[in-house]
Structure formats: structure tokens, C-alpha cells
Amino acid sequence: MANDWIKESVVYQIYPLSFNDSNDDGIGDINGIKEKLPYLKNLGIDVIWLSPVYQSPMDDNGYDISNYYEINPMFGTKEDLIDLIKETHNQGMKLIMDLVLNHTSDEHVWFKEAKKSKDNPYRDYYIWSDTPNDITSVFSGSAWTKDILTGQYYFHLFSKKQPDLNWQNSALRHEIYQMINDWLDLGIDGFRLDVIDLIGKDVFNKKLSDGPYLETFLKEMHEACFKGRDILTVGEMPGLSLERAAYLTKEEDHLLSMVFQFDHISLDEQPGKGKWELKPLDLLDLKRVFKRQQEVYEKQGWGSLFWSNHDQPRAVSRYGSVNQRVLSSTMLHTLLFFQRGTPYIYQGEELGMTGYRFKLEEFKDIESINYYKEALALGINEADILKSLHQKSRDNSRTPMQWDDTKNAGFSNGTPWIKVNPNYKEINAANEQQDKNGVYHYIKKLLQLRKEKNVVKEGHFTPLDETSSQIFSYQRKTSNETLVVICNFTNEALTYDLSTYQSYELLLTNQPITNDHCLSPYQAIVYYKENNHGNH
Ligand code: NOJ
């Protein structure tokens, strides 16, 4: 489980390609990030998570690493990164790197060697078979690709340019541990570990997530790299059960500080049909998932709180309303960020940035492009494919950060690598910072309150209005403090008795309370009181 500073921290995810371009080549870079550190500090951020900046052919935007030790020149140099770490520390924040350990790029020297012959010393760093089974890739098609030279197939759960590493090879594991230690020695404050639930897999028995060796390898990695270091580690573990996640983050072992799971954000998918076949979100499902998470993590481990990331469309477009952007995004963050766990903000969420309806030829993401081709071949009509892509494509959240209303939203003077959302004239950091009633200032205030009130860290979670499919409300309570969060998840005014909370302080609300028997559309209210012992 997490140390105290981790429990009190707020993490901000930067997707470097789209954050800030300092040299006008249309691609965000490390020096661009450095320029914006004061902006992040001002927002109240404690930890920055950088999506991968390692050397990579960028088949999957950096999640295909060809050299773990080097920086991709499009982002800058290793000196730039060392400087960024130093500057981040100078400004009182920490920096964690993304690390992709389940697979490398096919351009990594290990794979180049492995491909040379069946008896190459690196052959066993990857997973090979003469007879591929029917496992499919997350990015469409078979997870096996034939290597022409040796006639064997190699395994890749993602693109064919991302061969999976064979973690059962101990030499490989120790090379990885060495590399992790080298980064930590350089001053990094931890890692976000990409699909780390997959490293213990047994491909031949089709056990992928939480495979038979996961715990052994995590323990070994912890012993070899993390133990005794005051760092934050967050494991992306999409396939793990909640109980296992809590177990792997438990205080006694501290194998990982916390994990990312996706139960709460796959509720708008039709069960068992993957990410592209959608259904409307039922608030009762969301309440059930959050309640269970809160209950499990109260007993053991520590959780993460997030709505969006570089793989997930922006929450305001997905669950809120673009027309009620400020109200619905502030409501969504209130609902989530007063729960137990460490909050994560994905770049632009603090501005209420929205998704963008890309034209077909504008999509950049390999997953979207492969899905389009596969769906078309299956006879799905183009309009339906586009509808799914508009809702779920990862490109939605990858449009450049909207800094101001100048050319390309102030992101770059060059040609941005991906379309800038045209709504940047209205939605941008400069406007938001001036607007005391906007999303930015609300989130900033919310983050301050989280820090001030111990009940947010420790309080027991009790759901309120449990059967309501329109209102999400809950109480957090310690022996000293009580906090009540009430959120109208709909675009309608709802009858609700707020007079019950007369004795509470109104800690936060995203719009004035007009009537103590009514919640306005997307209203979020947080009440607080110190418990008066002996006088209930
Ligand atoms: C999860 C990452 O978040 C995603 O962007 C990537 O495509 C896959 N893992 C594969 O590395």
C-alpha cells in the first residue's frame, strides 16, 4: 500500500506528444513540459506521470520501446530529461516515468538478435511457437505473426511491432531490473507500469492477465528494485480482479503503491463484446462498482481514482454533456475525487477539454485504424464504425493541449501531428485561468480541500440514495469529521432535500444552491462538519 505522501498526492498525466511543443516541429517535447511546470504547480499537482519518451519507432506512440536507456530524439535528449527531473524537484513536485515491460518494439536489439536464428542467445527473450493458438491481438487479428527466416511465429498481444517479452527467462528479467535501477538512480520518483498484469502469463495455456507467475515476478522485481526506495509505483492491470489488486498493493508488502483498473469505465460497453459495442451508462452500475472498490480498499491496499487517460476518451464527452461542459466536468470530478484513493488528472481535464469528431482520414491511432479495417472486412457499415470511433477512439484524448486562443491553441507554431480540437478558441488554459467559475479553478479548489480534510484520505465510505439512478451521493466519515458528497448526474433539476444538512458547512459546490429542496442540473455539492462527540 501507499506511503502517506502517496495517499495525499495528486498525479497529473502528461502525454508528451500532445502537451507542449517547444521547437515547433508539431510534436510536444520535454523542454515544452519544462516550460509548463509552474502551471502544474499552480494547479496543485504533486506528481507528474510522463507517458513514454524512450527511443521508439512510435508504432504505438512510444508504448513500443526500442531502447529503454535512450530518449526519443523527437522529445529531446537524455540531458533534457535529467534537467526536467531536476526542475520538477526544484518546484516541489515528483516525476514518474511510464515503463513498458510486457513487450518491446520489434526494433529493439533484443528482438533483432532473437530473430536471427532459433539458437540466438536472445531467442528466448520472446515467445515463439511452431503452432500458433487462437489468441487475438488487442489491436485486431491474430496475436501471432510468422517470422519468415525461421518459420516460427512470435507472440504479440498488441501490434506486430510489439513482440511480447518472455518473462520466464531469468536473464531477461535481470536485464530489466538493472535498467529499472538505473532510472531510479537517476532520480525518477517511480513508474507507471504498462499492462504489468500480463508479465506472469502462460500463453500456451491461454492464461494472460494475472498469470501463474505474476506474483513471483512482482515480488522479485520489488526485491531487486523498489524495496527501500520511497517511490510511487502504479501498475496498469486491466485484467486483474479487484481483490487481487488490493492484495498486491497491501501495506505489509508494498509490492506496488496502487493499480489502475477499468471496471468503472467499461460500463458503457456491451458485456463481453469488447470496447467498440456500446450501451448507455447506467448510473446504478457505476455506483455498484465504486461502492465495491471503496469497500475492498478500506480493508486492504490502496486505489487510484481516474476518469480519463491517453487510452480513454474524455469523461465530459462520455458521461457528461459538452453543452454543459463546466457543470458536468466539475460534477464528475467531485463525484470521483472525494473517494478514497489517489486522484489522477489527464492533461486538459482541468480545462474541461472535450473529445473531437475526427474525420476518417484524420485518425492516427493504430488501434482505431486496425479496428476500422477489421470492421469493414466484417461487413459493418462505415457509419456505424465511425460512430464507435467517435465514442471510443483513443485519439479523442490525444488532441493537443489547448493553452490559449492563438494558432494551434498555443501548442505549436508548426503543423501539429494530430488535429487540434477547433473549440480551442473558447476552451483553453488562458481563458480558464481567468474564469473563477470555470473548471480549472474548481479543480484547484477541490485538490486543496482534499489535502486539508483528513476525512478524504481516511474516512469510511457509505453510499447514500443507493437506489437512485440519477443522483450519486455518499458520506465519508472518521471519528472526527463527516463529509457528504451529492451529485446530480443528469441534465435535469431534481427534487432533493438539502435541509438535512443545515448543520453542515457548505464546503464546495459547482453552482449556487437556489433552493434547499432542489438540485440543479449537474449540480455537485460537498458538505462538511466536525463531529460533535456526545451530542449527535
Ligand atoms: C496500455 C497503454 O496505456 C496503451 O496506450 C498501449 O497501447 C498498451 N498498453 C500497449 O502498450
Q: Please choose from 311, 392, 396, 397 the residue to mutate so as to test ligand 1's pocket, defined by most ligand atoms within 8 A of CB.
A: 311
Mean pLDDT of 195-223: 97
pLDDT in tens, 61-81: 999 999 999 999 999 999 999
Percent of the chain with pLDDT over 90: 96
pTM of the model: 0.97
Looking at ligand 1, which atom is closest to the CA of residue 60? 7
How far apart are the CA of 138 and the centre of ligand 1, in A? 10
- Of 204, 143, 133, the closest CA to residue 168 belongs to 204
How far apart are the CA of 390 and the centre of ligand 1, in A? 19
* CB-CB contact of 225 with 181 (8 Å): yes
Is it the case that residue 34 has pLDDT exceeding 90? yes
Give me 167's grid cell. Answer: 518473462
* CB-CB contact of 298 with 460 (8 Å): yes
pLDDT in tens, 214-269: 999 999 999 999 999 999 999 999 999 999 999 999 988 889 999 999 999 999 99
How many whole angstroms separate alpha carbon 459 and alpha carbon 481? 8
Is it the case that residue 275 has pLDDT exceeding 80? yes
How far apart are the CA of 324 and the centre of ligand 1, in A? 31
Percent of the chain with pLDDT over 70: 99
Residue 236 annotated in active site: yes
Is it the case that residue 43 has pLDDT exceeding 90? yes
Give the pLDDT band of residue 536 (cuts 50, 70, 90). Answer: very low
Residue nearest to atom 3 of ligand 1 (CA): 311
Residue nearest to atom 2 of ligand 1 (CA): 194
pLDDT in tens, 397-426: 999 999 999 999 999 999 999 999 999 999
What would the DSSP string read from start to end of 277-331? Answer: SB-PPPHHHHHHHHHHHHHHHHHSS-BEE-S-BTTB--HHHHTS-STTHHHHHHH
pLDDT in tens, 453-465: 999 999 999 999 9
Looking at ligand 1, which atom is closest to the CA of residue 236? 1
Give me 340's grid cell. Answer: 478514497
Looking at ligand 1, which atom is closest to the CA of residue 157? 10
Predicted pLDDT at 535: 45
Predicted pLDDT at 251: 86
How many whole angstroms separate alpha carbon 337 and alpha carbon 343? 6
Give the pLDDT band of residue 278 (cuts 50, 70, 90). Answer: confident
Predicted pLDDT at 2: 67
How far apart are the CA of 146 and the centre of ligand 1, in A? 23
Q: Is 276 in the pocket of ligand 1 (CB under 6 A)?
A: no
Q: Which of 194, 311, 350, 432 is catalytic?
A: 194
